[in-house]
Amino acid sequence: MLRIWRNNQLHALRPNLWDGLAFLIVILLFALLAFAATQMATPYHVGEALIIHLNPSYLPYYALRTVLRMFIALFFSLLFTFIVGALAAKNKHAERFIIPAIDILQSVPILGFLSITIVIFIALFPNSILGPECAAIFVIFTSQVWNITLGFYQSLKTLPYDLKEAASMFHLSTWQRFWRIEVPFAMPGLIWNIMMSMSASWFFVVASEAITVNHQNIFLPGIGSYIAVAIKEAHFSAVAYAIITMLIVILLYDQILFRPLIQWSERFKMDVSNEKRPTALLVLLLNKTRLLHYLGSFFAKLFVLLTSLRLGQSIVALERETSRSRYTQITVWLYYCLILTLCLIAIIALARFIFHSLTVSQVLQVLLLGIYTTIRVVVLIFLCSLIWVPVGVWVGMRSQATQIIQPIAQFLASFPANLVFPIVVILIVKFNLNVEIWTAPLMILGTQWYILFNVIAGAASLPKELCLAAKNFNVKGWLWWRKLILPGIFPFYVTGAMTAAGGAWNASIVAEVVSWGAHTLRATGLGAYIATYTATGNFPKIALGISVMCLYVLLINRLVWQPMYNLAQKRFQLY
């Protein structure tokens, strides 16, 4: 028997032809990433010209550099999500500050982050290209992290009561509960939000790779800088080459990463479905290997061992200790006092800076401009919801359709919306259209996909038992939507709509002022106000515009999004 067991073990470790092919793919990927990483630390001095070639033969290299930046940003986005998103979901005192702060930060102009961080990173890494690289990665990080964090927070807030009871009954520690219950439950929606964030970050690649500091232009090698140079030189064929390259890159990382992740996340759903689901090509390849399959099982067991460690107290003991603590209330009050004091100091300093140069009437005018932009954002979110909620439900409930629609939606979400702006300007000028109305869709062009991807994730997570029960009882039409679909996808829709609204506020700065050649169109709104005075360098008016934007976003968060999150948690849990 021992000899038979040893022979089986040796046979499992003996590589086959599929192992060779899989090893070749893995080694190629690691070699490309290692080569791109070494290029990120080459010597560089501010003012030194970095030439971007429009020859399409350079595009594979540029694509490699861009993808590496996006995945580094994604790593830090996930790290931030698991720490800050979990803290917001589990601590109601932290939640009251984290969620409004995220809502504000996702509405702050991305270029505002870049203008501050570029100087800091260049000082941290002098005489190296690593400084601008870190600044570009940070900007991509800010375009990804808020959606992922909000999606993870929403999943933890709607954790089924049965799973909470199971964690208490088995006396799981906080570490075990996080990795054994909370992360697996959030995994299906988390993967869809990661895909959406990766797609949305393509919009900001152009801004992050074409950096201006001290009146010096820094063009980092990448698809974004390639597009920026192509637009500047009006090289239409180069723009077409860049779009084709983006399509190929999206299809590649969809097949290598996201398709296997979606298939893997199926095991974390609450329901057991007999529906046959398509298998990713990479998963089929790995399943036919021997040695890699064995190594994968080893690392899976190692991960299970790490997540089984009893780090921290058990949930029951932690709840009892918290309830018995005499100093909890005092600590909370001190925490609130400290936060409020810091906020008051910041508000007073900002008000003194603004009112030193501006009058009350000018402030009231900016508040009025904020109302115009708010109306645009609300109308656009409503119209996009009417379109993408039915589409997302239809796709999410059909796994075969998901496999077809997913890469198409990823490419459309990845398509840089600023490439469409000149076409809109030409149409408005040619047909003499109303600027106030027809520039508004540009605000939502790149962010509407948040609604679609989150609704797809919500529809795919619906328990099959409920769907079959509704079918057996012949529940159709509006009753089907009102009793099953809308309650089931509501938490996911809130996350998507909230993120789309934040992105629309951010995009208003570039969408309310658009130009092409000699034509420049300006809509009435807060975004146009900020864009105008950013170009002239009027810092008091820039500070006033951003402050008013943050004020409106904060009010909408407290009056709309937070009550909707509470409603999703209390009423619309399907388990």
Whether residue 453 contacts residue 409, with contact meaning beta carbons closer than 8 Å, is answered with: yes
Task: Give the separation between CA 511 and CA 445, rounded to whole angstroms.
Answer: 10
Pairing between β-strand 519-522 and β-strand 216-219 as defined by DSSP bridges: unpaired
Most confident range (mean pLDDT) of 92-101, 293-302, 512-521 is 92-101
- For 358-575, CATH number out of 3.40.190.10, 1.10.510.10, 1.10.3720.10, 1.10.10.10 equals 1.10.3720.10
Most confident range (mean pLDDT) of 83-87, 199-203, 302-306 is 83-87
Q: Does residue 330 register a pLDDT over 70?
A: no
Lowest mean pLDDT among 205-219, 364-378, 422-436, 487-501: 205-219
- Concatenating the DSSP letter of every residue in 445-490 gives TTTTHHHHHHHHHHHHTS-HHHHHHHHHTT--HHHHIIIIIHHHHH
Q: What confidence category does residue 181 fall into, taking pLDDT thresholds of 50, 70 and 90?
A: confident
Question: Between helices 360-396 and 539-556, what is the axis angle to 10°?
Answer: 50
Lowest mean pLDDT among 211-215, 307-311, 528-532, 553-557: 211-215
Query: pLDDT tens digits for 230-258?
Result: 877 777 788 888 888 888 888 888 888 88
Question: Between helices 183-209 and 59-80, what is the axis angle to 10°?
Answer: 140
What's the pLDDT at 374?
92
Task: Give the separation between CA 250 and CA 63, rounded to whole angstroms.
Answer: 10
End-to-end C-alpha distance for the chain, whole angstroms: 47
Q: Which helix (H) or strand (E) holds 310?
A: none
Q: Please tell me whether residue 128 adopts helix, strand or coil conformation.
A: strand
Task: Give the separation between CA 115 and CA 138, rounded to whole angstroms.
Answer: 11
Confirm or reject CATH 3.20.20 for domain 17-43+57-206+251-270+277-319, answering yes or no.
Answer: no
Q: Where are the domains of the chain?
A: 17-43+57-206+251-270+277-319, 324-357, 358-575
Mean pLDDT of the chain: 79
Whether residue 300 contacts residue 264, with contact meaning beta carbons closer than 8 Å, is answered with: no
Percentage of the chain lying above the pLDDT 70 cut: 83
Reported pTM: 0.77
Pairing between β-strand 210-213 and β-strand 216-219 as defined by DSSP bridges: antiparallel
Task: Calculate the alpha carbon distances from 20 to 27, 28, 30, 294 in Å.
Answer: 10, 12, 15, 14
Q: Does residue 505 register a pLDDT over 60?
A: yes
Mean pLDDT of the region 78-101: 86
Please tell me what DSSP assigns to residue 76. H
What's the pLDDT at 109?
64
Whether residue 494 contacts residue 561, with contact meaning beta carbons closer than 8 Å, is answered with: yes
Dig out the tokens for 288 from the structure.
């036919």
Q: For residue 293, which amino acid is it?
A: H
Q: Does residue 516 register a pLDDT over 70?
A: no
What's the pLDDT at 518?
66
Q: How many CB atoms lie within 10 A of CB 317?
A: 12
Query: pLDDT tens digits for 19-33?
Result: 777 778 888 888 888
Q: What confidence category does residue 131 fall into, taking pLDDT thresholds of 50, 70 and 90?
A: confident
Q: Does residue 77 register a pLDDT over 90?
A: yes
What's the pLDDT at 4?
53
Torsion angles phi and psi, residue 210, rounded to 5: -110, 90
What's the pLDDT at 464?
79
Percentage of the chain lying above the pLDDT 90 cut: 8
Q: Which of 201, 216, 84, 194 is nearest to 137 (CA)?
A: 201
What's the pLDDT at 345?
79
Mean pLDDT of the region 283-299: 74
